[in-house]
Each structure stands twice: as C-alpha cells, then as structure tokens.
Structure 1
Amino acid sequence: MNPIVFVHGFMGGSAQWVPQETAFGSASVVAVDLPGYGQNAHLSPLPTIEAYSDWVLSELIRRGISCFDLIGHSMGGMIAQEMVAQAPDHIGRLVLYGTGAQGVLPGRFETIETSKKRALSEGAKATARRISATWFLAREDDPAYEGCAVIAEKSSAAAIVGGLDAMRQWDGRAHLKNLDKETLILWGDHDRTYSWEQTEQLWHTITRSNLAVIPLCAHTAHLERSGLFNSIISAFLAPSS
C-alpha cells in the first residue's frame, strides 16, 4: 500500500489520528501538522487553502514522500481537493471526510463570521473548547473530547481567525468534475459542521466517488467510531485483487 497521508481540519493536529496510526497493516501513516496548528502552532498560519496545499505538498517532498493516498478531514478536505488539483500525479486514492466543496458552510452550527467575532471576544482557549464540543455527538461527554480540546487550544487567535478567513474565501466546486481519482466520501450522520447537502454534492459530482455514512457520530468519526472508521478506510484503500 501507498503511505497514507492525513490532513487535519481547523484547530486540529496530527495527535488526533492516534487511533489510525497502526490500523492499516504495513502501510505507513503520515499525519501532518498545518502551520498555526498542533505541533506547528508556533508557525504563522497561511492566508489561503491553496497556500496550505502548497505547504503540505512541499512538506511531503521534504520527507521523501512522492506517491501517497490522501485523507483530508474538514478544512483538511478542502486542502486535499486543492492538492489533487495542483499535483494529481502524486496522489493515488482520495478520502474526503467530513468536508465539502465550499468554504462558506451552509448549515454550519454557526456562521464563520459569528465564529470570528466570538473568537476575538471570548479568546482563543474558550473558542477552542466550545467549537471542539460541536465535533462530537455527545459533546463534552465524549471520552475523546478533552484530547481534541487540548489540541485545539494550541491554536492562537491569529490561527483561528486566519483559518476561518481561508475557508470563507475558498470555493472548490469548479474542480469537482475534473477530480479523476477513486474517491471515498465519508460523513458522520450527525455532523454539525458539514450538512448532508455538501456531502451529497461531492458524491454526485465527483465521477469516481463512493459514499460511506457512519452512524451515531458527528464530525469526528475517526475518534467517536474509530473501529468502524478504520475498517471502512482499510477496505477502500486495500489493493485491488
């Protein structure tokens, strides 16, 4: 199997992918930390989704990784779509997970502008914990919530506002019909961030797409239902017989 590259979402980090680190047999798992987030919180956040795509591709080249399967979650799914548009020959199979083709998120638990205003008025830490709770069906009661909140808390106010601005400016719908990769669209059935309509748009527009809906979870199926999530990914990425 190709190396599997995981690109996290807004206020995420590589540490969120611990349940996936050894789940795929001999395939190596590479989880990046985007500038401004996770272990790279000390780096300046980037202004656009395209810039994050450039950064991830350059980081993988720096690590000697030229061909890989790609999993993008949430904002990371936007970045993954841009990576395919920029460097299609480097990418094998694609998983777009809890994401959409528009940076403005219809049906999100609150508008991006509201999140920006609240981040500036309430502070980065309070914003990180509040938004992290929306990622889980059980909110703060999910066992994985605290770990996600701690990762999210690493994000500065600049990274929070910058990430929201990068998403708001981005629109990937024009790329979808040209996205010629075997693609899995993966969605939690109670996702509060990305509505079914956005998931359906990816599924119906990407030519070689497959759909998996994971029940009883929200925006973090890889933590809420990690066994089922890993099984679905393993089946999709398994070499063809």
Structure 2
Amino acid sequence: MSVNFAEYGTPTGAPIVLLHGIGGNGRLWAPTVAALAHRRVLAWDMPGYGASAPLPEMTFPALAEALAGMLDRAGVTKADILGHSIGGMVAQEFNARFPERVASLILLATSAAFGSRDPSFAEDFVRTRLAPLDAGEGMAGVARGVAKVAFGEAPDPAAEPDCIAAMLEVPEASYRQTIACLTTFDRRDALASIAVPTLLVAGEHDRMSPPKGVARMAEKIAGSRFEVIAKAGHFAHLEQPAAFNAVLTGFLEA
C-alpha cells in the first residue's frame, strides 16, 4: 500500500521520521518541523489518516511494514524515528522488526503496552473512547472528550485548536480501527533489547501516558535518556514547543 508523507527541511540532511498520534496527522508536527530545518524530515499520515489509504486490517506488524515501505519509496535506508502516543508504539514495533533501519528512537507520551492484560479493561476502554461515535456525535464528540483531559498548564494558544482540527479530519472508520489496534499492543519484552540511542519524553501533567510509566520504560532501556516537559499534558510538542524542541535537538545533536 502507499503511505502519504510530507517532506520538510533539507533534502541532504540526516533523515528523521515523525509518527503522529491517534487523533493527528502529519501536519500536526509543524512546531517540531520548524526546529529541524537542517534535517530531512518525513512526516507520515498513518494508514487510514490524511491522504493515506487504510490497511485491510490495522495491526502493529502491518503498520511497521507500511512504514518500511514508505522509507523504501523515499530512498531512506536508516533514520531517527520520533513517535507520539500510538506513533511511539509504531516506532517500537518498527525497531523490533527492522532494527537495522533505526538510527535512534524518540518516544513521546507513549507506552510499551496497552494499559492492562485484563480483557474487561480493553472492552471498557474501547466502549468509552467510541461512545461519542456510537451516540452519533461524530469526531466532534471525540475531540471534545479528548480536549477535557489532554492538555496541561498554560499551553501554547494554538495547541488545542490545532489538535481539535486534526481530530475532526480523522475518518470515523479509521478511528474505530485504530482504537481496536491500540488495545493489542505489548512490546514490554522488547525494551531491554533496544540498542539504539533512545530519548523518552513525558508531559508533566499527562493523564494519558503518565510520566511514571514512561520513566519505567526508560529504566529498562540501557543508556536511554528520560525527560519531563514542565506544564505539558499529552501533547508536549504542541503545548510547550520551545521546551520540547530544546530537548529533542539536544538529544539529536549529542
């Protein structure tokens, strides 16, 4: 399948791939892209999002294969991989399957596994997240619910409206498919085998991917670096872009 991606920065620069979250798209990385002008930046639209066709069945192995195919089309053998939320899960899956293609990992507001092995937890999660769609409220209802819990203190004024605008563009079918896929993720067994430089970043007030969980991931990845973005919630790269960009570029340039 063909995955849509946008290119920014310097064509001859070292490549970095940006993988958005469950309610996003490639354009939502604009503040991050601005700090990477000297790099070759590839921001994908996850399958089923933006201009990317959906997968017949969304699974993490299929998403990793789709990313590999995108890199092949772009002529990129190896890249730094930055993933936010479910994008961070895709990054972990990609590293587990194609470690030779990963220069470094930047895992933002993510987890090594879905919240619980208890099937009832997954069922409750899916029911809650899809309730606005089932009630006929559409993605506007989803966006309202996410906005209530996603942001921290004093976010950049553009963060919330940009996130809501991106969520409104997500097809309902893709959102349902992605929520179901999310509940299957578990790569805890792969953390100790991550051998590339790895930066893990959490928002201080993130209720979706709390800092303590991201810190536990960092403890299991040898030589990794863990940073907390003060005041931020789940969208640290949008809420506190200057602070996030400083951490990101400091890691990439080290």
Q: TM-score, normalised by structure 1?
A: 0.89
1:177 deviates by: 1.0
1:23 deviates by: 0.8
Residue-by-residue CA offset, 1:82-122 (whole Å, 9 max, x unaligned): 01001111111111110010123799xx8343112333223
Residues 1:230 and 2:242 aligned together: no
Residues 1:189 and 2:200 aligned together: no
CA distance in 2, matches of 1:151, 1:124: 10
1:141 deviates by: 9.1
Structure 2, unaligned stretches of length 5 or more? 1-12
Summarize the Cα distance change of 1:39–1:200 in structure 2 as closer, same or farther, 3 Å threshold: same
Select which of 71, 77, 83 maps to 1:66. Answer: 77
Q: Kindly tell me the number of residue pairs found equivalent between the two proteins.
A: 236
Alignment-derived partner of residue 4 in structure 2: none
Matching residue's letter, 2:113: Q
Summarize the Cα distance change of 1:185–1:104 in structure 2 as closer, same or farther, 3 Å threshold: same
CA distance in 1, matches of 2:85, 2:250: 21
CA contact (8 A) 1:188 1:220 kept: yes
Matching residue's letter, 2:234: H
CA distance in 1, matches of 2:58, 2:173: 11
Select which of 67, 73, 87 maps to 1:76. Answer: 87
Residues 1:213 and 2:228 aligned together: yes
Residue-by-residue CA offset, 1:122-174 (whole Å, 9 max, x unaligned): 32332134324532225999432112111111112211111111110111111
CA distance in 2, matches of 1:231, 1:163: 31
Select which of 18, 21, 32 maps to 1:6. Answer: 18
Summarize the Cα distance change of 1:133–1:193 in structure 2 as closer, same or farther, 3 Å threshold: same
Select which of 170, 185, 188 maps to 1:170. Answer: 185
Summarize the Cα distance change of 1:139–1:236 in structure 2 as closer, same or farther, 3 Å threshold: closer
CA contact (8 A) 1:119 1:160 kept: no
Q: Which shows bigger deviation, 221-230 or 127-136?
A: 127-136
CA contact (8 A) 2:15 2:42 kept: yes
CA distance in 2, matches of 1:84, 1:177: 12
Residues 1:102 and 2:113 aligned together: yes
Residue-by-residue CA offset, 1:17-46 (whole Å, 9 max, x unaligned): 111223124212111000122343x53574
CA distance in 2, matches of 1:226, 1:166: 29
Summarize the Cα distance change of 1:139–1:56 in structure 2 as closer, same or farther, 3 Å threshold: farther
Alignment-derived partner of residue 62 in structure 2: 51
Structure 1, unaligned stretches of length 5 or more? none
% identical equivalent positions = 30
Where 2:186 maps in the other structure, the secondary structure is coil
Alignment-derived partner of residue 125 in structure 2: 111
CA contact (8 A) 1:105 1:193 kept: no
Summarize the Cα distance change of 1:96–1:147 in structure 2 as closer, same or farther, 3 Å threshold: same
Q: TM-score, normalised by structure 2?
A: 0.85
Alignment-derived partner of residue 35 in structure 1: 47
Where 1:212 maps in the other structure, the secondary structure is strand
